[in-house]
Amino acid sequence: MKILADENVARPIVDLLRKEGHEVEYIFDSARGSVDIDILERAHRAGALLLTDDKDFGELVVYQRLQSSGVILMRLEGIPWVERAEMVINLIQKHGTNLLDAFTVVTEKRVRIRPNS
Q: Where are the domains of the chain?
A: 2-115
pLDDT of residue 38: 97
Name the pTM for this structure.
0.95
The CATH T-level fold of domain 2-115 is Rossmann fold (3.40.50)
Q: What is the mean pLDDT of residues 23-44?
A: 97
| CA 63 remoteness from chain centre | 18
**Contacts for 79 with CB less than 8 Å, ≥ 6 apart:** 87, 108
User: Quick one: pLDDT band at residue 15, thresholds 50, 70, 90?
Assistant: very high
Average pLDDT over residues 101-108: 96
Alpha carbon distance 52, 24 (integer Å):
13
